[in-house]
Structure 1
Amino acid sequence: MSWAEFREAAPGFAEAVEQRFGKYPHHVLATLRKDGSPRLTGLEADFRVGELWLGMMWGSLKARDLRRDNRFALHANPGSDNGMDDGDVRVSGRAVEVTAPDVLARWAAGAPDGGTPEKFHLFRAEVEEVVWVGVEREEIVLRIWRPGHPLRVIRRGDGDAPPDEESAH
């Protein structure tokens, strides 16, 4: 599912996730190495034209990982302290490489920093799961969205009571 389709399915949640990613420029991308072990690298997430774009240096290890196995997870920068006021946000799915010269040129022309190299890899995210974890009052709150399902909200206290789960429509 494209980012635009996710925004249509869960508009308020998508906006909150974009704002959380927008708080810092650098985030952490998880890809899979040839041997199946995880690789974590830095990345700037780019939300434009209804898509989540993953741009990276030509020939980078993360680009080679995604070309071989397109599964990824992107974790929003948690910030410099332990407050987590805006929660912990993750997006996972599959990265589809974009090779059309006209799309690459349009993306490079609109890049926020204007410093796009002549050759680069560009991937469009196909979203399979978005998770936000935060603390509200005395509870840990998880918001989980997957294509074809309503937004799930799970609230957990620190006692023995089972978590409370609801679906937000």
Structure 2
Amino acid sequence: MTRTTRTTGTARANWAAFAAAAPGFAKTVEARFATQPHHILATLRRDGSPRTSGLEVQFLNGELRFGMMPDSMKALDLLRDPRFALQVNPGDGTGMGGGDVRISGRAYEVVEAAVKGAYAQEVKPPEGPFHLFRTELTEVVRTYVEDDTYLVVEAWRPGEPVSTVKRT
């Protein structure tokens, strides 16, 4: 199911809507995330300052989902304020094959037992309770170097085509 919403002036879309709007870009982004198991999630602390945490992500059934330990600080941050930024793991940092990828949006807890059960069957998290979040994307950005000459920035926002800017 694809979902695009607009509230308070900010359009948001689930992963399926992004993949339908920009299939090549979505495939590139998924492939980049697949190169490493752990990535960097930024959330907002109670006082508004940023918190970064390691995180595994899953692209399942048209959704980008985050599973977390119960009452982890990042989960508590998202329950209080759903805004997040996710950055792909740069790996060893020497080549970033595929570029740097960042996703911004909002994450909402999934409480439906059937959805959490299907997720657990697919992902096999550690036994016991866990938080599961579904995401609504506000932006997907990829930055990479082309021909050792250009810095290329590709960006997608819901309701807009992918934009590409090359800088020397």
TM-score of the alignment, normalized to the shorter chain, above 0.5? yes
Aligned counterpart, 1:76:
88
Amino acid of the residue matched to residue 13 of structure 1?
F
Aligned counterpart, 1:144:
155
- d(CA) in 1 for partners of 2:91 and 2:165? 24
Aligned counterpart, 1:86:
98
Map 1:117-156 onto structure 2 (within 5 A).
117-137=127-147, 138-156=149-167
* Identity among equivalent pairs (%): 53
- d(CA) in 2 for partners of 1:16 and 1:86? 8
- d(CA) in 1 for partners of 2:153 and 2:87? 15
- d(CA) in 1 for partners of 2:126 and 2:134? 16
Offset at residue 110 of structure 1 (A)? 0.6
Aligned counterpart, 2:47:
35
Aligned counterpart, 1:62:
74
Q: Helix, strand or coil: the match of 2:47?
A: coil
Offset at residue 84 of structure 1 (A)? 2.0
Segments of 5+ residues of structure 2 without an aligned counterpart are 1-12
Q: Helix, strand or coil: the match of 1:128?
A: strand
Q: Helix, strand or coil: the match of 2:96?
A: coil
Aligned counterpart, 1:9:
21
- d(CA) in 1 for partners of 2:29 and 2:67? 19
- d(CA) in 1 for partners of 2:30 and 2:86? 12
- d(CA) in 1 for partners of 2:139 and 2:96? 21
Mean CA deviation greater in 75-84 or 8-17: 75-84
Mean CA deviation greater in 139-148 or 74-83: 74-83
Aligned counterpart, 1:26:
38
- d(CA) in 1 for partners of 2:126 and 2:15? 22
- d(CA) in 1 for partners of 2:116 and 2:70? 13
Amino acid of the residue matched to residue 151 of structure 1?
V
Q: Which has the higher contact order (CA 8 A, sep 6+)?
A: 2
Calculate the TM-score normalised by the size of structure 2. Answer: 0.90
**Greater Cα radius of gyration, structure 1 or 2:** 1
Q: How many positions carry a matched residue from both structures?
A: 155
Deviations 1:114-160 (A, max 9, x none): 24332000000101100000000100000000001110000000xxx
- d(CA) in 1 for partners of 2:126 and 2:17? 27
